[in-house]
Structure 1
Amino acid sequence: MKIRIKGNSLRYRLTKSDVAQLAEEGHMQEEVDFGGQQLYYAIKAVEDDHLSSIFRENTIILFVPNDVIKELAETDKVGFEGKHGSLHLLVEKDFTCLDNVAEDQSDNYPNPLADKK
C-alpha cells in the first residue's frame, strides 16, 4: 500500500495482495518510522456509501465502503474517488510502471498501456 499526498488530495495505491487482504480482513495499516516518531497510514472497509478520511494520533485512515472494496477485488475497475469536505480522496489499483524502476513491482497489477508501447 502506498500513499501520495499533494495539496488537499490523498491517494492510496493498492497492490493485488493489498486488495486481497482488504477484501478478506477489512483493514490494513503501514507505518513510516521517523526515528522518534511514526506516521501510520491505514485503510479500513466500512458500511457506508462514500469515501472518508480522518487524521488523529499520527494516523491517516481512509474509510472505504465495503462495496468499493468488493468491486476492486472482483472486477477490472481501476479505482474510486470522492470528497470528504474539501479533501479529495482516491483509492486505486497500483499498476506496474512503464519505465524501468528499481522497486519490486511483482505484486502490482499489469499496466493496461504496456501492450501499446
Structure 2
Amino acid sequence: MKESRLATAKNTIGKTRLWVWLILLVAALGAAAWFAWGEGLRRTGAAGTAYGAHVACSCRFIAGRGLDDCAKDKLDGMELIRFSEDAQAKSVTASIPLVASDTATYREGYGCVLEPWEG
C-alpha cells in the first residue's frame, strides 16, 4: 500500500515538473519572438490601427453606418484589429491588444482626426 502511494506521489510530482518546464519553455519562446519581431509588429500595428481608426470613424460618424457594419470594411491583414466607439465623444478606437491603439474623433468641418502620436 505504501509503495502505491509513493509511486502515485512521484508520478504527480513528475507531471507537475513537466508542466512547469513546458510553461517556462513557451514563455521563453514568446519572449524571444517578441524580442525578434516586436518592434516591427508595434510599428506596423500602429500604422494599421491609425488607418483603421480613421476609416471606421469616417464610416461611423460621416456615413452613419453601425460600427459592426464598418468592421466589414477591414482590409486583408487587419483581422487582429478591434474597434470600439465612444458615441458621446464621436470617436472610434482601433486596437490590437498589447501592441497598438489609436483613436480618431469626428470634428465638424475637419472630419475624423487622429489623436497625436507620442513618439
Q: Is the TM value for this pair above 0.5?
A: no
What TM-score bracket applies, with the shorter chain setting the length? 0.3 to 0.5
TM-score by length of 2: 0.32
> Between Structure 1 and Structure 2, which shows a larger proportion of helix residues?
2
